[in-house]
Structure 1
Amino acid sequence: MSKLPIDVPKEKLQQVRMDMFRKVQREKRAKKRIVSVAIASLFCLSLLFSIRVSPTIAGHVAKIPGFQAIVSAVVRDKGIKDIVDNEYYEEINVTQTKNGLSLTLQGVIADTSGFVLYYDADASFDISKLNLEEVQLFQGDEKIKGGGSFTSNQSHQTHIFSSVEYGFSEPFAYTSKDFKVVFRFYEKDMGNIEITIPFSLQNEIAKEKTITANRTVDVDGQKFTITKIRRSPLKTALDIEVDEANTMQILSLDDIAVETENGERREGIKYAMAMGRNMHDGKFTLYLQSNYFHDSDSLKILIGAVHAVPKGEDFIEVDFGTKEVLTKPDYLDWDISVTQQSVSVAAKKWDDRRRHTFLNSAVKADGTTLKYTGGSFSDDDQYLFATENFENYDGKAKIYLSYYFNPIGKNIELNIPLK
């Protein structure tokens, strides 16, 4: 089998080599250790430009401390690869140490739709028992609302490399380029460890590109309209409105993607098809990998399947006080159990699809929102499992379905002009 050719941007690599040469000459009189670190860093950055077509190179680079998180992101998301290629990724490389824990903020990506921080950490103690409890991001002295999404430490891990992601349902205003991020960890023997890292952005924040689409899709009499396509470096957002006259509640659009004129496909971002607004209110937003840095006259939107259930039969009712399922639709064939502030679901697999969140929007008996705090997901050969967690509450709640496999339409294509 012949090897895939590696796409090497020669001019960019030549510039990297020249910059590296100048840096080495400039620092030659300084400590040799600093020079070696600079060489390694520049070498790794140059390799980032070729990892899209060379997974082998990506695998090697990912083993170098400080680059695992961004390399992992580039490999799984073509939009992040574009960000690195177009030098929109900002290297921070600031380290703070406290109570034996050393954390380095390696870099950030910031635009009007979101904020991603890439970091790694080492410790003088057993880091496998360290747990990340909370991350707070501040612009100036003002805390950015909405918690960042992050992954807790995995067992048996000896080195942490990960990211924290913020998504904004409305374009974020960069009133200042000065930020700080606060990481709060907990370890049984060490207790609470808080590390604060201030940093400043250097790039001009890319402006969102918005196209008014207003394309209505009719699937077996059930209609929804793609009103806008909003593109930023981190993601492409599709704003969608559902027809009030529908007799079915649309729950999900499966396998959604955009395709450019040259046939390049950008997939939905896994676990980021989160609704910018409540889908049950008739408006929601789906997020896909970005093609922000590519100019084209049109986009093709691809929808693998539309899933819907009868209107008014799109929720279950539970009592967190008695830990009971009070009501559920007749068609719902899931095994459901209620525990303290959690609802667990076991759904028989319909095919080899990925894991799903099934229930994540809820209201209390008094009509106020019951906050969703996250979930855990797994599967085996026969079932998909999900445990959805909610804020502390011991009363009755109505919890809406966010997914049920019931396709009413498949393989939909829409051509959207961009100019």
Structure 2
Amino acid sequence: MSKLPIDVPKKKLQQVRMDMYRKVQREKRTKKRIVSVAIVSLFCLSLLFSIRVSPTIASHVAKIPGFEALVTAVSIDKGIQDIVDNEYYEEINAMQSKNGLSITLQGVIADHTGFVLFYDADSSFDISKLYLEDVQLFQGDDEMECGCTFLANADHQTHISSLVEYNFSEPIAYTSKDFKAVFHFNDKDKGNIEFTIPFTLQKEIAQEKIITANRTVNVDGQKFTITQIRRSPLKMALDIEIDEENTMQILSLDDIGVVMQSGERRESIKNGISKSGNIRDGKFTLYLQSDYFHDPDSLSIIIGAVQAVPKGEDFIEVDFGRNEVLTKPDYFDWDISVTHQSVSVAVNKGDNQGRLLMLHEAVKEDGTTLEHTSSKVSRDEQYVVETTQFQNYDGKAKIYLNYYSNPIGKNIELMIPVQ
């Protein structure tokens, strides 16, 4: 079977190469690298994102310093693709060097719900033992309080291309466009290395688009309402409320997504925060890939399955002092073992469809929270063993199931008009 031809703009490539050559020849030696990198960056952004070239060409562009993390983000999130296509991604290209390590803040995506910093780290030494411990973000002189996650990409021993994502619990006000990012690295041999990189946003911050939905879904007598849909460049948020009169505890809305008028599907955020709030509290938010730069007449929300179990039967009760299981739901027939401060559940591989129970929520006898400290998963030919470790405690505790495969409804489709 012959391969499909790749649409490579040869004439454009040749022209860019000639322009680069003439430009470099005219510049002084000290300016050669700056000019060539700027031209390559401009061309690669245009080539990779504006004309949507093949993955083959994209993979080559990803190898160019400054593009690895951005190409990775685009490949897993169609909303990021839209951001770059619509020129909302902001290039910064600010570099600092210290102790043989150079940090380049390549670019930023900012809206009222979050921030994404794309950076490269290059060194003259082996950085396989270099760890990014924290990145503080300041607006003016005020540090921004938010959840911060790192995505590592250390394929080489002297180069890292990665991103830092911030998620704000409340929409932020852009009282200033002057920011600074403080990177805190730690190297086993060199100790702490800190970089402070100031930058100023030039683009206008996109305003959130809010759709009042108030669409109630009734699945086998169990109700929940999608109250509103909030659309920003970085994410689409579905705000959901659970009916207090439900007789079952809804645990999960599986495989939720939005199908656009073009037929393209926007799914849950894959890397980063996909949910906020606690479903047991009756209100929570699910985050999907953004469709901000599209203006549909309506949104089609698809829910693959609603997972629920009877109320009052959504937990395991254990005694950490005696290392034994006290009670478990009648439907829960998997093996449970309790050792000092940990609970392990062995699940047949075919029974839970690759989903974890996520036994992170626990309550002590006095009603206070028993903190979860770590989780690990091991596998053999037959079982997936999920082990959850808790803080030191030798009493009884209820450990709640955050997932269990018991669908009460499947393949639900909602059409919501965009007002």
What range is the shorter-chain TM-score in? 0.7 to 0.9
Distance in 1, matches of 2:341 and 2:195, equals: 30
- d(CA) in 2 for partners of 1:233, 1:28: 39
Two-structure CA RMSD over aligned residues (Å): 3.5
Offset of residue 359 of structure 1: 2.8
Query: What is the alpha-carbon distance in structure 2 between the residues aligned to residue 301 and residue 231 of structure 1?
Result: 14
Code of the aligned partner of 2:134 = E
Number of the residue aligned with 1:257: 257
Specify the alignment match of 1:3 in structure 2: 4
Q: Name the residue aligned to 2:71.
A: 71
Label 1:193 to 1:241 Cα distance change in 2 as closer, same or farther (>3 A).
same
Alignment match, 1:197: 197
Distance in 2, Cα, partners of 1:373 & 1:299: 39
Quick one: distance in 2 between partners of 1:7 and 1:351? 47
Q: Secondary structure at the match of 1:250?
A: strand
What does residue 176 of structure 2 align with?
176
Asked whether the equivalents of residues 129 and 188 of structure 2 are also in contact (C-alpha less than 8 Å), the reply is yes
Aligned to 1:61: 61
> C-alpha deviations, 1:194-214, integer Å up to 9, x for none?
222222211111111111111
In the alignment, which residue of structure 2 is the partner of 1:112? 112
CA 1:7–1:193: 2 relative to 1, 3 Å: same
TM-score by length of 2: 0.85
Matches of 2:254 and 2:192, distance apart in 1: 41
Cα distance in 2, alignment partners of residues 183 and 342 from structure 1: 35
Instruction: Tell me which moved more, 327-336 or 294-303.
Output: 327-336
Equivalent positions of 1:195-234 (< 5 A) are: 195-234=195-234
Aligned to 1:235: 235
CA 220–350 in structure 1, closer or farther in 2 if over 3 Å, else same: farther
- Aligned counterparts of 1:404 and 1:254: Cα–Cα separation in 2: 11
Which SS does the other structure have where 2:41 is aligned?
Answer: helix
Mark the runs of 5 or more structure 1 residues left unpaired by the alignment: none
Once residues 380 and 79 of structure 2 are traced to their aligned partners in structure 1, the CA distance between those partners, rounded to angstroms, is: 31
Q: Which segment is superposed worse, 330-339 or 263-272?
A: 330-339
Give the counterpart letter for 1:406 in structure 2: N
Q: 1:105 to 1:207 in 2, by over 3 A?
A: same
Could you say which residue in structure 1 is the equivalent of 2:186? 186
| SS across alignment from 2:293 | coil
What residue is the counterpart of 1:149 in the other structure? 149
How far is 1:41 from its partner?
A: 1.7
Tell me which amino acid in the other structure corresponds to 2:230. Answer: R
1:291 match: secondary structure: coil
Q: In structure 1, what is the Cα distance between the partners aligned to 2:255 and 2:36? A: 45
Deviation at 1:330, TM superposition (A): 3.9
Moved more, 84-93 or 122-131: 122-131
Shift of residue 224 of structure 1? 0.7
Task: Please state how far the C-alpha of 1:124 moved relative to its aligned partner.
Answer: 2.4
Shift of 1:123: 2.2
Q: Work out whether 1:245 is the aligned partner of 2:242.
A: no
CA distance in 2, matches of 1:213, 1:273: 23
Aligned runs of 1:11-410 on 2, under 5 Å? Answer: 24=23, 28=27, 31-49=31-49, 52=52, 54-151=54-151, 157-270=157-270, 272=272, 274-317=274-317, 327-334=327-334, 345-350=345-350, 356=356, 358-363=358-363, 366-369=366-369, 382-384=382-384, 386=386, 394=393, 398-410=398-410
Q: Which runs of 5+ in 2 are unaligned?
A: none
Deviates more, 1:358-367 or 1:238-247: 358-367
Residues matched between the structures, number: 411
TM-score, normalised with respect to structure 1? 0.85
| CA–CA distance in structure 1, aligned partners of residues 346 and 153 of structure 2 | 26
- For residue 165 of structure 1, what is the amino acid of its counterpart? E
More divergent stretch after superposition (320-329 vs 219-228): 320-329
Worse overlay, 194-203 or 289-298 = 194-203
Structure 1 letter corresponding to 2:279: M
Query: How much has 1:51 moved relative to structure 2?
Result: 7.7
CA contact (8 A) 2:100 2:124 kept: yes
Q: CA shift at 1:84, angstroms? A: 0.1
8 Å CA contact retained: 2:137, 2:179: yes
Give the distance between the partners of 1:374 and 1:146, measured in 2 at CA: 22
Indicate conservation of the 8 Å contact 1:61/1:67, yes or no.
Answer: yes
**Distance (whole Å) between structure 2 residues aligned to residue 342 and residue 108 of structure 1:** 41
CA distance in 2, matches of 1:338, 1:102: 48
Superimposed CA distance per residue, residues 273-301 of structure 1 (whole angstroms, 9 cap, x where no aligned partner): 64322111011111111110001100100
Aligned mates of 1:320, 1:50 — CA distance in 2: 58
How much does 1:100 deviate?
A: 2.3
